Structure 1
């Protein structure tokens, strides 16, 4: 199948944009005409699905608004139309339009959401589609939406905690490097002008190295700034385009990797608990929950748990065969399986992992700040010592 992007008018004359998966252009036209759309343009997009900016916050807001409007007595189409009218632009609008078109074509919400996912209009995991399908079948769509909102809120909390843990040390390091860069690029070159070229050889080694570095940075200021900007751009690109590779690198770091795996395991616990609470059987819940983790090692371990449970092992026994669960987790899960409170226990364990991550990051940041101050003080002290040695040597250099 190929992805076709289209512009069209709906039955009410409003212009829509979206994506459609079809075997050919003719099949795409027929499918869109079947939805009651009048095509304005249709073009094939090769090289994979086109991703639009439908963020985690957009998803959380969309499902929360849907739940609220359904509770207020609107039907699903009216709720989507209301959200569409209140949304001006962006990926959220495209997803809402695709969902409304799917419902107009007779699809249930879960299938319309899956269709939008296949067309590349959002990246929500299929476990959310499954929760919607269970809610539709049981007549509890509102509760299913509430569970999805809870899971998205959990993911947002994890994301904010991880970002918060990284932003402060990154900002502290950036300010420190800028201060050192200012000294080397602005202060030291002016100081180096006091010394003739042959005099540097008679300076103490530390002072000679600093003066030489200052002259180099003064002569190549533009090149160094260009290299700095290129490095920042490359890092920003890598964070967006190579997220999976960076996650794999973080997974291998001594202290960072275990902390991220613990919080990702909490994401797995929460997704699994929500699926079970929503009425999905354990085997299907385990299969769908394998898509929740973002770390490759956690996802592989989740797949092993699914296979072991399919072979007849208990959930606690399957988790014991992997690195996902701690001994205290296993004890709680054994008791939960006996008492029938597995969903509640899994969600509590998920919250506990995030709270543990919060405590760990707070403790690490308390140690990081004085460590950076000490390192920066040592570097500045080294620069000042080198400059003072050079000043003291001025008398020795006089003819």
Structure 2
């Protein structure tokens, strides 16, 4: 939302002040509804106190997918682009998307094309959307382009959700396991320390180990917090720099169990994007540049850049891919066939469908395997602590029985 300073007239005479709205047009509508005839209105610059702080992407993918599907439906139903944009601006659940659409509507009413209007909001609308809309305007098939975009982002959202669900389960169970272990070590185990001290004699090795860990957690818990925080900051810093992100992506793609799944998801996203761009008549070199920016994997991005350079030199785009370990033979061979037959978009679409199904099957299989494994790990951790407490207590019980005899 933005702040606007206005001056005008109401029933009492002159009126001036500030108003908060998503766009200049919305501000004027609000003032008019309040009975104020606007003479002058200007947007105030953002300050640290008024600026909206967003974490992550301004618009969630699911909101963008809903917008695209509804936009495509309205255009096909004969609604004008301006009216469709106005309708969707007030229906979307995303504040950032609403603000952008209201500004886009204002530019459309001033006579600017849709591609130019959305290009002024690159944080909201991805490069692929902007370029495909521009191609749709030139070809006169904007409704088909929007439908293709909706299909593309829906499939991307589905694949991403599958990956997130596969990774989220072990992550959540792991965090719960760590919290349970910390609780036992900090709150439960210390209550038995005095009892064990009164026993005298030598404690079992497993009990001494658990007591030592418990003592460390009680005395140096702040050190653990600092180490975890520094680790998160370190990984975030690595991921924000393209140079270090490359090595981080290499580690992720070669990681056991999850690496293969992440590789297939990244390849599916890459070829799906290329297929959608080619189908919308976006020039191949421009399409490669767009894919390089949106692939979200620095390993694949560098190979795509090499493939684009290869095309510029008149060679095949598959040459750099064939030499790289991240591209299986299936991908390079089918792309090569598509180049030779002139059906590259169709071949890319088939590759994307194949890997999207592989990701879906892989995530389902992974969750079914990880669930019992995580239960065993959690039971092992808790069982070790319980065993460390129970073994000395059994020894005390034996001593008590011997004394009574």
Match 1:112 to one of 107, 110, 117: 117
SS state at 2:155 partner: helix
Retained in 2: the 8 A contact 1:192–1:215?
Answer: no
* Structure 1 counterpart of 2:327: 325
- 1:267-309 per-residue CA deviation (whole Å, 9 max, x = no partner) reads 1111111111111232222222222200111111111111101
> TM-score, normalized by length of structure 1?
0.78
SS state at 2:79 partner: coil
Question: Residue 376 of structure 1: CA displacement?
Answer: 3.1
Retained in 2: the 8 A contact 1:301–1:323?
Answer: no
Question: Residue 266 of structure 1: CA displacement?
Answer: 1.4
**What pairs up with 1:72-87 in 2 under 5 angstroms?**
72-87=77-92
RMSD over aligned Cα, in angstroms?
A: 3.7
* Structure 1 counterpart of 2:146: 145
- 1:103-139 per-residue CA deviation (whole Å, 9 max, x = no partner) reads 123211111111011xx4x1x4312211000101111
Question: Residue 59 of structure 1: CA displacement?
Answer: 1.6
Q: Do the aligned partners of residues 178 and 309 (structure 1) sit closer, same or farther apart at CA in structure 2, a change above 3 Å counting?
A: same
Question: Higher mean Cα deviation, 137-146 or 285-294?
Answer: 285-294
- 1:44-90 per-residue CA deviation (whole Å, 9 max, x = no partner) reads 569x9976732212221222221111111111111111222334761
CA–CA distance in structure 2, aligned partners of residues 171 and 350 of structure 1: 30
SS state at 1:7 partner: strand
* Structure 2 counterpart of 1:171: 172
* Structure 2 counterpart of 1:312: 314
**What pairs up with 1:294-305 in 2 under 5 angstroms?**
294-305=296-307
Q: Do the aligned partners of residues 385 and 5 (structure 1) sit closer, same or farther apart at CA in structure 2, a change above 3 Å counting?
A: closer
* Structure 2 counterpart of 1:252: 251
Question: Higher mean Cα deviation, 315-324 or 297-306?
Answer: 315-324
* Structure 2 counterpart of 1:378: 380
CA–CA distance in structure 1, aligned partners of residues 215 and 53 of structure 2: 49
* Structure 2 counterpart of 1:64: 69
Match 1:7 to one of 1, 4, 8: 4
Retained in 2: the 8 A contact 1:8–1:37?
Answer: no
Q: Do the aligned partners of residues 293 and 96 (structure 1) sit closer, same or farther apart at CA in structure 2, a change above 3 Å counting?
A: same
* Structure 1 counterpart of 2:11: none
Question: Higher mean Cα deviation, 300-309 or 367-376?
Answer: 367-376
* Structure 1 counterpart of 2:159: 158
**1:210 partnered with 2:249:** no
**1:90 partnered with 2:91:** no
5+ long unaligned stretches in structure 1: 20-35
CA–CA distance in structure 2, aligned partners of residues 91 and 293 of structure 1: 23
* Structure 1 counterpart of 2:186: 185
- 1:127-183 per-residue CA deviation (whole Å, 9 max, x = no partner) reads 221100010111111111112112211221222012111111112212322332343
Retained in 2: the 8 A contact 1:277–1:343?
Answer: yes
Match 1:340 to one of 339, 342, 347: 342
Match 2:45 to one of 31, 43, 46: 43
Aligned residue pair count: 366
CA–CA distance in structure 2, aligned partners of residues 50 and 104 of structure 1: 29
Question: Residue 235 of structure 1: CA displacement?
Answer: 8.4
CA–CA distance in structure 2, aligned partners of residues 67 and 200 of structure 1: 78
Retained in 2: the 8 A contact 1:8–1:17?
Answer: no
Q: Do the aligned partners of residues 71 and 241 (structure 1) sit closer, same or farther apart at CA in structure 2, a change above 3 Å counting?
A: farther
Question: Residue 351 of structure 1: CA displacement?
Answer: 2.1
CA–CA distance in structure 1, aligned partners of residues 239 and 23 of structure 2: 26
CA–CA distance in structure 1, aligned partners of residues 71 and 40 of structure 2: 27
Retained in 2: the 8 A contact 1:165–1:361?
Answer: yes
CA–CA distance in structure 1, aligned partners of residues 79 and 232 of structure 2: 43
**1:291 partnered with 2:293:** yes
